[in-house]
């Protein structure tokens, strides 16, 4: 079986993103793992920090930007629930605009993603 992402009320979030730059579908499963991307054309660096890497902003840096301003990374994540944020220029912490958010316990929001082991549909 291949891992599958479960992202709850995705349609609501997508409807709110009409003016957020080029559209991309948010996290996606690939053969190599979960593909994350962020539209940040003016950024000098973008990283992803979360429960999967002990919130280390130096560990998982995205490559980019491409000519449209998109940064990307693929992470081999096992089945589980993950909270994460993108970190722009090593100081601006930003949720993923394509996934639901949860309270981080400190008055802010984290993006949340569920990776499950079952067949892709």
pLDDT in tens, 25-76: 789 988 899 999 999 999 999 999 999 999 999 999 999 999 999 999 999 9
**What is the rounded CA–CA span in Å between residue 27 and residue 30?**
10
Q: Specify the residue for token string 């993103």.
A: 17
Q: What is the pTM of this model?
A: 0.77
**CA-closest candidate to residue 82, choices 48, 31, 118, 105:** 48
Partners of 39 in beta bridges: 70
Share of residues in the chain with pLDDT > 90 (%) = 70
Is 88's pLDDT higher than 80? yes
> Would you give the end-to-end CA distance of the chain in angstroms?
11
Closest CA to 28 of 2, 58, 47: 2
CATH of domain 3-117: 2.60.40.10
Question: What's the rounded Cα separation, in Å, for the pair 110 and 84?
Answer: 6
- What does the longest C-alpha to C-alpha distance in the chain come to? 39
* Cβ atoms of 75 and 87 closer than 8 Å: no
């Amino acid at each position: 079986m291949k891992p599958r992402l479960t992202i709850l009320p995705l349609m609501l979030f997508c409807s709110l993103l009409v003016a957020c730059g080029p559209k991309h579908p948010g996290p996606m499963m690939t053969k190599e793992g979960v593909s994350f991307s962020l539209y940040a054309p003016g950024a000098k660096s973008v990283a992803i920090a979360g429960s999967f890497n002990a919130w280390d902003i130096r560990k998982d840096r995205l490559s980019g930007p491409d000519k449209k301003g998109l940064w990307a990374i693929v992470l081999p994540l096992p089945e589980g629930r993950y909270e994460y944020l993108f970190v722009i220029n090593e100081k601006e912490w930003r949720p993923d605009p394509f996934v639901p958010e949860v309270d981080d316990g400190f008055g802010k929001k984290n993006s949340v993603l569920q990776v499950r082991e079952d067949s892709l549909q």
